[in-house]
Amino acid sequence: MLKKEILLAIEDLTVSFDGFRAVDAVNLYVDKGEVRVIIGPNGAGKTTLLDLICGKTHASSGTIKFKNIELRDLDEHHIVRAGVGRKFQTPSIYEDLTVYQNLEVSFPRGRSAFGSLFFKRTQDVVDRVQEIAAEILLTEQLHQLAGLLSHGQKQWLEIGMLLIQNPELLMLDEPVAGMSVRERQQTAELLKRISANRSVIVIEHDMEFVRAIAHRVTVLHQGRVLMEGSMDAVQADERVIEAYLGH
């Protein structure tokens, strides 16, 4: 088997808030094309870990190397431009804009003030928006206000807003929370399609969903990595059962 290339290498990452170590000496390596799921009880530091990677929170110590670029030194928008996309836990879309506008605004061109002023809606933009809309099953809602979408559709739209930027690493915080069974299946299929040519980190509690998508699973507990491995190995591990799955 070929040795896989590492896309994201997190080493000894720690952040402490007034002495409380939300993330404590975490090591995590994500390969190119891998779907990694992070599970763990509430307060385990899952969301904080994503915050650290995307620059929302600043680390106390450690390194976050993405394609060998140290992300800790970069501003949020530069991290995004380097190829890291992040979906928030609650659907974070622009409710006053249409689905089309939500996607167009996320198109990665014309990102400066003047650039956006003189941004032209060329055919490639229109094509790309329609391509993404088809991917996230929102073609028919393209000209509807995003605020009127169902909860699940909002989640998809936000994923679409990230996809249009074609990130090499996509981070999704509880993408299927609040979704119906059918929507969960559709989301799992969507994730499989989009992970074909990029790495994805997903935080999720729904074990069935995790099983459907995960290549590897990392269990966080009290800010530390408790265990890492395949879904089967994780579910069989006694420490994991005690800390998380058991109750």
Q: What residues line the site for another protein (CB under 8 A)?
A: 54, 56, 75-77, 80-81, 85-86, 88, 92-97, 101-102, 104-106, 108, 110-114, 116-119, 158, 161-162, 165
Supply the minimum distance, in Å, between the C-beta of residue 94 and another protein: 4
Which residue number, 77 or 151, has a Cβ lying nearer to another protein? 77
| Token pair recorded at residue 220 | 């966080």
Q: Helix 123-135 crosses helix 181-194 at what angle (to 10 degrees)? A: 130
Supply the minimum distance, in Å, between the C-beta of residue 25 and another protein: 26
Supply the minimum distance, in Å, between the C-beta of residue 109 and another protein: 9
The DSSP code sequence of 11-39 is EEEEEEETTEEEEEEEEEEEETT-EEEEE
Q: Which of 82, 74, 81 is nearest to 55 (CA)?
A: 74
DSSP label at residue 146 = G
Which residue number, 46 or 86, has a Cβ lying nearer to another protein? 86
Which residue number, 89 or 222, has a Cβ lying nearer to another protein? 89
Which residue number, 107 or 244, has a Cβ lying nearer to another protein? 107
Q: Which of 17, 82, 30, 71 is nearest to 201 (CA)?
A: 30
Supply the minimum distance, in Å, between the C-beta of residue 219 and another protein: 26
CA distances from 123 to 31, 51, 81, 120, 217 (A): 34, 35, 23, 9, 41
